[in-house]
C-alpha cells in the first residue's frame, strides 16, 4: 500500500509526463484527454490521472468542460498576449528583487548558465537551447527569494512555452547578458528595459 507521500509523488510524476507530452506537441491544442486511456498508457489508476490533470489546470495547459471532458488548452492570440504582458511585469519584479539579493558568486553562476545557450545555438540544437534558456530564467526566479512569485510566473509562463511557436532565429545571448549587467548595476530603469527587450524579442508576434 502506498503512503500519502508516495501517492503525491506518483501524481506529480504523471502530471509531469502529461505536461511533457503537451510541450512536445504529442498532445495538440484542443485535443481531448481521456482519463481511462491515459491511465492504461501510464499504468496508473484513473484517479491518479484525474488528480494529475487537476495540477495542470491552474497552469492553463488543460481545460475541463462540464459534462463533456478534459481538453488540451487551445489559447487565443489575445490570451497568449495577456500572458506575455503578465510574465514581463512579474519578471521585472523578480529581477529587481534578485538584483538586491544575489552575491557576486551567484551572478557568476548566472553568467555561466548562458554558455550552454550559445553552444546549443551554434550546433542548431533548438531543444537544448530552449532548455538552457529556461534554466537561466528559473535560476533568476529562484534568486528572487519569493515562492509566491515563482509559482505565479510558472503558471503564467506554461502556455507560452507549450503553445507559442518560437522563431527559427537563434537565441541572442547578448540580451540575457544585458539583463545580468542591468541587475548588477542595481538600476531599476535598466533592469525593466532589459527584461522587456528580451521577452519582446522572444515572443515578437505577441507584443
Same domain, 87 and 131: yes
If one counts the domains in the chain, the total is 2
Same domain, 117 and 147: yes
Q: Which residue has the cell 541572442?
A: 172
Residue 4 pLDDT > 60: no
* CATH number of the domain bearing residue 43: 1.10.10.10
Q: Express each pLDDT in 21-64 by its tens digit.
A: 999 899 999 999 999 999 999 999 999 999 999 999 999 999 99
Same domain, 121 and 187: yes
Cα dist from 80 to 93, 114, 121, whole Å: 20, 26, 25
pTM of the predicted model as reported, rounded to 2 decimal places: 0.86
Same domain, 137 and 171: yes
Q: Express each pLDDT in 166-199 by its tens digit.
A: 655 556 689 999 999 999 999 999 999 999 999 9
Show which of 29, 49, 72 is a domain's final residue: 72
Q: Which helix (H) or strand (E) holds 69?
A: strand 69-72
Residue 45: partners with Cβ closer than 8 Å, 6 or more residues away: 39
Instruction: Report pLDDT for 179.
Output: 97
* Domain that residue 190 falls in: 77-206
Same domain, 90 and 175: yes
Same domain, 97 and 37: no
Residue 158 pLDDT > 90: yes
Same domain, 85 and 148: yes
Amino acid at each position: 500500500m502506498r503512503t500519502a507521500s508516495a501517492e503525491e509523488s506518483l501524481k506529480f510524476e504523471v502530471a509531469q509526463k502529461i505536461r511533457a507530452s503537451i510541450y512536445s506537441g504529442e498532445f495538440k491544442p484542443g485535443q481531448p484527454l481521456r482519463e481511462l486511456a491515459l491511465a492504461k498508457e501510464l499504468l496508473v489508476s484513473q484517479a491518479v490521472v484525474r488528480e494529475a490533470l487537476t495540477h495542470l489546470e491552474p497552469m492553463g495547459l488543460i481545460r475541463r468542460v462540464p459534462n463533456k471532458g478534459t481538453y488540451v488548452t487551445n489559447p487565443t492570440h489575445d490570451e497568449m498576449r495577456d500572458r506575455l504582458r503578465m510574465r514581463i511585469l512579474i519578471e521585472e519584479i523578480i529581477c529587481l528583487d534578485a538584483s538586491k539579493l544575489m552575491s557576486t558568486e551567484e551572478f557568476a553562476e548566472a553568467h555561466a548558465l548562458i554558455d550552454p545557450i550559445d553552444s546549443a545555438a551554434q550546433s542548431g540544437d533548438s531543444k537544448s537551447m530552449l532548455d538552457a534558456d529556461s534554466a537561466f530564467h528559473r535560476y533568476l526566479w529562484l534568486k528572487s527569494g519569493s515562492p509566491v512569485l515563482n509559482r505565479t510566473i510558472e503558471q503564467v509562463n506554461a502556455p507560452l512555452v507549450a503553445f507559442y511557436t518560437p522563431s527559427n532565429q537563434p537565441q541572442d545571448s547578448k540580451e540575457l547578458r544585458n539583463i545580468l549587467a542591468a541587475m548588477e548595476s542595481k538600476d531599476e530603469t535598466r533592469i525593466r528595459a532589459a527584461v522587456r527587450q528580451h521577452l519582446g524579442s522572444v515572443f515578437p508576434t505577441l507584443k
